[in-house]
Every structure is written in C-alpha cells, then in structure tokens.
Structure 1
Amino acid sequence: MAKTTSTTTSIYSFSARALNGEEISFERYRGRPLLIVNTASECGFTPQYKGLQNLYQQYAARGLEVLGFPCNQFGKQEPGDAEQIGNFCERNFGVSFQLFEKIEVNGENTHPLFRYLKTEAPGLLGLKRINWNFTKFLVNRDGEVLRRYGPPKKPDEIAVDIEKVL
C-alpha cells in the first residue's frame, strides 16, 4: 500500500476536463472511494471497459466512482476526439462512469493528477512511470492513494480491494 506524502497537495486539489468540456473539481469526489484509470479505445486491454463498468454498477450505490482518462501515449491507441471516445465507450461497453478528455500520463505534459498518483503509488521498483494503458489507482474515502494495479490486472480481480474501502 502506498503512503501519502507530507505535502499540502491532496487528490481533492485537482481538476480535469470531462469529455463534454466541463471542468470537474475532484472536491466533488470527497468522501468517495475512487478507481482512476488511464484508458484507450484501440488497446488489447480495451475490453476492460466492460469490467470497469461492471464495478461501477455494482458499487456506485455504496460510493465508488470510476474515473477514466483516455491517453494516446501508448501506441497511439486513443486517436479519437472527445465525442468519438464517448460514443465508442457508450456504444461498445455501456460506459456510464465519468470519462475525461484525453491527457498525457508521462513526460513533460503529464496531467498534474497523474504526476501525483505516480508519486503516491509508484510502480514496480519504485518507477514513477505509467507503462501502458489501463493502469489503475485505488483511492480511499479519505483521498489516500492506496494501490496501483498494472494493466493486466482485470477490474474484477480488484473487487476485493474495493470492498475494503467501501
């Protein structure tokens, strides 16, 4: 489990633009467990959208929010614009959880949220880099980043950890 750093930054200090262009403050999610995922529409892991939607449907009434952040940095597997991404996810996987505009998760233009997530829950060997699409971060009701899951970890396999934070 990751430890929170001793800074004034918290998960609630971030905001991101939704697919519809609305700027969403993470303050909106205070007191709710979060599963934050970088996604892509043309990836071998894209079928995980279905599992993410299943988790959202199963646990939303108990507070879980699933937040998807499309990213085109890995094999250019998210080439669409916001409208195309939204239509694809809804049509193919029935996605009703919150999706945001495309962001970068590595490099000079890393979205501040993902810079924070990578610091709070580094990957294997302490690496602060996202290796591929569908990396997942679990955040508890207090805003603490608890865990990072690599792309191969299927959403249903982390349900037991989600149960613990509900």
Structure 2
Amino acid sequence: MTVLTEIPVRKPGGEEATLSDHAGEVLLIVNTASKCGFTPQYADLEALQRAYKDRGFSVLGFPCNQFGGQEPGDAAEIANFCSLTYDVTFPVYAKVDVNGADAAPLFEHLKKEAPGLLGSKAIKWNFTKFLIDRDGKVVDRYAPTTSPRDIAGDIEKLL
C-alpha cells in the first residue's frame, strides 16, 4: 500500500521532497493554474488555509500546464503570481503533469484512490481537488467547478 506522505514531490526549486511535513494533517491537494477561468479559486483556497491551518489542515497547490497552456510560467513567476495576486500562504510545489506518461506519482496515486465521474482516472481540468484525511486516505475528489467554499463542511468533519 502506498503511503501518501512518502510519495516523492518536487519543491518549486526542483529539489525532491515528500509530504512528510504534512503527516497527520487534513489536506486539500489541488492542481492549479494562473491563467484559468477557475484561477479566482485561489482566493477561496487561501481562505480555507487561513480558517483551518491551526486545526491541522493545509491546502497544497501543484501547478499544471497540461490544460490549455494555462500555467506557462516558471517557479518564480508562479510564486510571484500567487503571492501578489492572492496572498497565498499555503505551499505551492513545482509544476507537474497530472495525466499521461509523465504524470507525477502523487497524482497517479490520487487518481487511483479517487476516480472521477464514471470511474475515469484522468483529471479533466485545472483545479481538480482531492481531500485527504489525517491518515493519508483519499476521502473525496471534487470537480474543478466545485467551489472550495463548498468543501468546507467536508473539511470540518475531518478536523
């Protein structure tokens, strides 16, 4: 069985890491993009981060450029955008692929544990969200159209 906190991820500078810093936390893992119609969700994701961080919750952002080239920037540009436009304080990791042969191991795991509509494993667009409990189990998958505000009740149940 795969342990979520041991799956390799990359920090914005490219160095390899794991999610071990988030062991025991409730997580909302999101593939993000700076130039998407759903980009304003950053504000609501940050609101969740601020509302629940002291109770053992974190949003984790993973920029992705696979959908309409909507995340073209490098790590510094993405960080500046998130900070200056939405005052993001939650971790934003290195840009990843979420589908295909080069899909990040984290997203392969998330898709396997929480398939989408009709059992589809593919992520359809930016701002697909995965809710993880304190034990690292994938609890639910939310469509890009689901507002982060609408997930607050599910987060509360896990805290």
TM-score (normalizing by structure 1): 0.93
Q: 1:147 aligns with which of 107, 131, 140?
A: 140
The answer to which of 81-90 and 19-28 deviates more is: 19-28
Distance 2:14 2:103 in 1: 19
Q: 2:101 aligns with which of 98, 108, 111?
A: 108
Distance 2:148 2:11 in 1: 22
Q: Unaligned 5+ residue runs, structure 1? A: 1-7
Distance 1:132 1:58 in 2: 26
What amino acid is the match of 1:158? I
After TM superposition, give the deviation of residue 23 of structure 1 in Å: 3.0
Instruction: Tell me what 1:10 maps to.
Output: 3
Instruction: Tell me what 1:125 maps to.
Output: 118
Distance 1:108 1:17 in 2: 17
Superposed CA offset, 1:50-84 (max 9, x none): 00000000000001011000000000000000000
Distance 2:111 2:84 in 1: 31
Report the count of equivalent residues: 159
Q: Aligned ranges for residues 1-150 of structure 1 at < 5 Å?
A: 8-150=1-143
Say what the alpha-carbon RMSD is for the aligned residues: 0.9
The answer to which of 21-30 and 132-141 deviates more is: 21-30
After TM superposition, give the deviation of residue 29 of structure 1 in Å: 1.2
What amino acid is the match of 1:82? A
What amino acid is the match of 1:19? P
Alignment partner of 1:107: what SS? Answer: coil
After TM superposition, give the deviation of residue 20 of structure 1 in Å: 3.6
Give the ranges of 4+ consecutive aligned residues of structure 1 lying more than 2 Å apart after TM superposition: 20-24
What amino acid is the match of 1:134? F
Distance 1:75 1:155 in 2: 22
Distance 1:87 1:34 in 2: 23
What amino acid is the match of 1:16? V
Distance 1:141 1:36 in 2: 13
Q: 2:156 aligns with which of 145, 152, 163?
A: 163
TM-score (normalizing by structure 2): 0.97
Q: Unaligned 5+ residue runs, structure 2? A: none
Distance 1:24 1:67 in 2: 13
